[in-house]
């Protein structure tokens, strides 16, 4: 069943087909459109991806599925890239997502994160690993801000000038925690967050107690405890938080 489930998740783009990710719930289930108790099959055509929030709501009778099949994700580009890598002469062994997931869940007993998936890909069956207490997470940011919607002058870069000697994404230490500058106000009350945008405080007076630890750069690096972050729903605990930009 790992094969079928992995196929359905990939087909649906690892996105809940009911809320389309609006619930912000990263836990996904493969749900039978026609229940097996009603002679439904395990064929991919009868399976749909739902997040845990929508999955519970469906079983509680809060909504019904329309029965429409989700659109199949075309893998032409992926196939082209894979074929080119095979021809490159690199020394590598091909693996598949369902194998990685099985090894991570059943053998290594690790959570679903990008870094644990990388560990599972490298490990062989029955091989054990010692989990480090912390990991370094990286995010690349552009040199400026850009208008998100098309329109007049949408191609122009919005400059990120200094205000009170601080720019957006500067790493600062304040009375309400350590984080990156997210929003600036002429009043001197700034919003700070972790590098993923999770709010630490939306009103910090940088004119009083504020120390700039690191200037804005194109690459942000944040150290966190293992298991506190996932690729889809990062969380931040400001106590013991450490971050830096390179």
The pLDDT tens digits of the residues spanning 169-190 come to 899 999 899 999 988 888 999 9
- Per-residue pLDDT, averaged over 82-89, amounts to 81
Could you tell me the sign of the dihedral formed by the alpha carbons of 67, 68, 69, 73, in that order?
A: negative
Phi and psi torsions of 76, nearest 5°: -60, -50
Would you give the DSSP letter of residue 110? -
> pTM of the predicted model, to two decimals?
0.47
Cα 140 to its chain centre, rounded Å, is 14
Which single residue is written with the structure tokens 């009375």? 175
Same domain, 240 and 142: yes
Range of the domain at 127: 95-131
What residues pair up with 243 in beta bridges, in sequence order?
222
Same domain, 196 and 233: yes
Question: Which of 72, 89, 106 delimits the end of a domain?
Answer: 89
Q: Is residue 11 part of a domain?
A: yes
Average pLDDT, the chain: 79
The whole-angstrom separation of Cα 142 and Cα 157 is 10
Domain count across the chain: 3
Q: Which region holds residue 208: left if phi is over 0, alpha if psi is between -120 and 50, else beta?
A: alpha
Asked whether residue 165 falls in the same domain as residue 109, the answer is no
Are 140 and 241 in a shared domain? yes
State the pLDDT at residue 193.
92
Query: Does residue 45 register a pLDDT over 80?
Result: yes
Tell whether 115 is covered by a domain: yes
Q: Are residues 81 and 49 in the same domain?
A: yes
- What are the pLDDT digits (tens) for 132-159? 788 888 888 887 776 666 666 666 666 6
- What value does the mean pLDDT take over residues 13-30? 90
């Amino acid at each position: 069943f790992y094969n079928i489930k992995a196929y359905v998740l990939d087909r649906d783009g690892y996105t809940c087909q009911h809320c389309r990710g609006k619930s912000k719930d990263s836990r996904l289930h493969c749900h039978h459109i026609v229940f097996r108790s009603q002679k439904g099959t395990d064929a991919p055509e009868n399976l749909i991806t739902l997040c845990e929030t929508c999955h519970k709501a469906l079983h509680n009778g809060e909504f019904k599925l329309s029965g429409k099949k989700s659109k199949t994700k075309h893998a032409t580009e992926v196939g082209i890239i894979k074929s080119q890598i095979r021809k490159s002469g690199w020394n590598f062994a091909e693996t598949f997502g369902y194998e990685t997931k099985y090894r991570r869940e059943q053998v290594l007993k690790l959570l679903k994160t990008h870094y644990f998936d990388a560990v599972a890909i490298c490990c062989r069956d029955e091989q054990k690993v010692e989990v480090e207490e912390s990991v370094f997470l990286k995010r690349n940011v552009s040199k400026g801000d850009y208008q998100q919607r098309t329109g007049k002058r949408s191609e122009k870069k919005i400059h990120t000038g200094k205000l009170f000697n601080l720019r957006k994404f500067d790493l600062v230490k304040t009375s309400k925690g350590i984080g990156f500058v997210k929003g600036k106000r002429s009043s001197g009350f700034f919003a700070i967050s972790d590098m993923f945008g999770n709010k630490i405080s939306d009103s910090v007076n940088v004119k009083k107690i504020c120390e700039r630890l690191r200037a804005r750069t194109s690459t942000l690096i944040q150290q966190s405890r293992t298991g506190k972050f996932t690729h889809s729903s990062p969380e931040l605990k400001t106590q013991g938080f450490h971050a830096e930009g390179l």
